[in-house]
A and B are shown apart, each in its own frame.
Chain A
Amino acid sequence: MKRYLGVLLGVLTAIGGFVDIGDLVTDAQVGARFGWSMTWVVLLGVGGICVFAEMAGRIAAVSHRATFDLVRERLGPRVGMLNLVGSILVTLLTFIAEIGGVALALQLVSSVNHVLVVPFVAAAVWIVLWRAKFSSIENVLGLLGLSLIGFAVALWQLGPDWNDVLHQLAPTSNPGGESWTTYAYFAVALFGAAMTPYEVFFFSSGGVEERWTRKDIGVMRANVFIGFPLGGILALAIAGCAAEVFLPHGISVETLGQVGLPVALALGKIGLAVVVLGFFAATFGAACETGLSVGYSLAQYFGFQWGKYVRPRDAAGFHVIILLATALGAGVLLTGVDPIMVTEMSVVFSAIALPLTYLPILVVANDPDYLGEHRNGRLANVLGVFYLGIVLVVSLAAIPLMIVTSMGQH
């Protein structure tokens, strides 16, 4: 019974923790501008993160090695350093966006300008990362993140014409009449948001933190193959709500408040309050994950002690890095930079960093030294190579598309 409860808790927190500020903003923007025509990108991205998270989780369970360990071991110190610099920049950018997202969620509730809230949010994130248990962070914020189910309920209440939705599912429908380069840019951003590298850094490091063993592979797979796709459905619901409310009027999504507006229309104040709680939990949870991921990446590259499974004094360098990253994030946001713009940049740069993260995972997942009998089977390899090809194309296309479309403006 305890085991089943553990699986259920893991799945629920995987659903609640799946969506972050990048998904919230990008899904709503895409829904408002492209309707349901990018559903295939969400499904593709969810499939990709499932494939690689499962491999990274399996490696963590069997060999107790997290993803950045593998990056340096297989790519060497030079290319590993290149990846480290790129990944840290992307993860820091995402961390900044998440802290900004928490501040924006609190602004929705309090009407206090988000810049004034940022120092308190940053302090709260750091205290939680310093003092709270790893499992408490994951479980409490993951369960609160389930409040975003409000979007699925709102979509049902908005009563979309499902025949029309079915027509829009075709990638060629492009109901907003946007140019195809803009379409491609947002497809790359959406894919980057779904497969952002910090997710595997955090997932695999979390496996080491929680002392996964071979016995936990089943539970890990349940989290990935049930929790992530259900989280993906939440992402689709967010896009769907925006498609129903904004697309017919040609309104684009520029603020977090607009992301929640369809829920307010469908479910009233109570519904809005529930999803704003979801915004807070999802962004605060992701802020914790990205903050930890900055520390994980650096510590795993250089090999010094990391993790919340040891006392802070035993992983002092790791905690100092998190403190500095939090201070830097708060400092950037205090300049008045728009967190939504930071989010848009972070998901595109995520797309660029993907291959250097996922190639070592795929290679090591085939290495009997690490995985023995648990190494990749044929299906995992076919899917891994398929997705590796896609992330390569996406990463090469990201910067040209960003320049050509002026970050999706035209």
Chain B
Amino acid sequence: MAEQVKLTIDGREVHAEKGALLIEVARQNGIEVPAFCYHQDYTLQAACRMCLVEIEKTPKLQVGCTTPVAEGMVVRTDSDLVKKARKGTLEFLLTNHPLDCPVCDKGGECELQDMVFRYGAGESRFVERKVHTDEKQWSPVVFFDAPRCILCYRCVRVCNEGMNVGALGVGNRGVIAEIIPNKHDHLECDECGACIDICPVGALTSGAYRYQTRPWEMEHVGTICTHCGDGCKTTLGVRNDEIMRGNNRDQTGINGEFLCVKGRYAFDFTKHPERLQSPMMKTAKGFEPISWARALTMVGERFSLAKLSHKKFGVIGSNHTTNEENFFLAKFARQGLETKHIDHHRSGDLATFFDALSGKTNALATADDVDKAKGVLVVGADLAQQHPFLAFQARANFRHHHAQVFTVTTGPVREDNYAAASVRVQKGGEVAGAESLRDKLKAAGDLVILFGDAVQGDALRKLIAFGDSLGIPVKYICLVDYANSRGAFDMGLIPRDGGMSREQMLAATDLDVLWVVGANPLKNAKLASHPFMVVQDLFMTETAQQADIVLPAASAYEKNGTVTNTAGQVQKLTRAISVMGTKTDLEIFGQIAKEMGLNLGIWLPDKVFAEIRKSVHGYDISPATLAVSPAPTMPLNGRVAALPGAIQSAGDTLFTSGSLSKYSHTLNSVMEAPGKLYGGER
């Protein structure tokens, strides 16, 4: 433990680690030292001068954000001098800040408003003309209003340090200094919107949200983003059953302040006009809407009949429905339909992974480990594109803890910018590439290895054997793509005991019934047989178009339950909205079971999870633990038999996520925006 010092703040004796920043020590002791430019994760600026404090034996006021605490220091944060300084700074700040709070998006949740409310400068002595420049649009999602900007440089830092994009800078100087985008009049960047959320005032506003609502009109629902396997918390602002925005300004969840473009903006698929809101039945004239009652009865009858006559059922589940739904579906398939032909789109070789780790403890890394390990090795994955949060963690680890990051990839990746070593390999040469780094990896001390679908089967076993041979603590993350790929695997949506894989089902010539839940297997494939086909989905996908019955499903933002991220962390989904005409997949399963007269248990998420706790290894997580999710990932023991079928990454980028992204207006507008996004071959 670092050396402790004793100091006095506002007459209170306080203990702290020597060298800790005064502003942090004060805050930890419940003493607020106001600041705009200070941000715990990014470089110190000492620019806003709001955190001035009085330190005994120091003639001038000192900034709390850069002053390290020392033994015997006597600090006052509440003296008249300090109060006057804060007020003076605010008065200066307001001279050129437009007082357009009534129409400013930030009104009501603006740090400048709050500071003026608390520290004064309510009356201005400023009677001169303010500096004005017009608002600018930098991208479909980023607008900049320079007069509102207080130049705290948080946006510049989050973009440069946090995202490693560096799309924002500072132009001009003095009173006309302003934030500038990297392409003169527009941005070419991740469009992640981190700059907007980190802005303490209304200088940076979101194209998707601006002038839509007042913050206090919304309810704020924390749930898990449905767009990739990283499992970021996103806080959805909901008004009148409509999601107005996504952000994570409270910095809770595994992702802290991080969110990518998808987590922040791509919730708008929920209100896409093509959203299915009624069950559909295929007729000679095409699809016709039918009532839920009729649809469920028909499905129930056809399933019962097929089961009675021992017909061949195939079930393709989803990698973004909840654990409860996946568990219930697997049970439905095995017990209710008595089929073993059950699978989902697998994007990482979890079967081999768990098998290779069998018997080991402490071998599964969490997202937090990526931020804490001394070494991080990325093998065969474009982390910044496919796992933006894990990429953010690796960068944060590099910035804060000087972690050594290594990449072994077929092409250049963003991590190369700061990697201790980067190895370029041909496809298939990933493990050999990692082996070439042996000495450097060993020297790191401990390691997290993240690998993508390029490493599967024997290569995966080799990689784990290599990790084990390093003689240092090594943990792994098998990267999978979708919001609940890991959960789908854990819940048993896999072709065990000789069942057919997804590809085998599509290729089978004797399939009688195909039940597809939240998946689009026919996007790039054809069915060899002509089964009775039921599809549950949000949209009329390529697969749904071939169905006999299409049931409109609720999205992840419209349901409760749990999902498991790529690192095996189980987190709770909380329903933010309901879309008329849809039902959750779990509800649909339950209703079909009821129609079939099956007893598969109660289909409420809590009840199903209670069953999961009892029967799925690693998921014995108490409701209390889950309430403060994420639950830590559990060691998996026992061997898992090799599974048939392809394992293939979705190849999603920052701006795409399966078929959902197609229905996000914002993602599409960003992709169509002028300027080059991060496309191209990786």
On whether the two chains bind one another, the answer is no
Interface residues of B (CB under 8 A from A): none
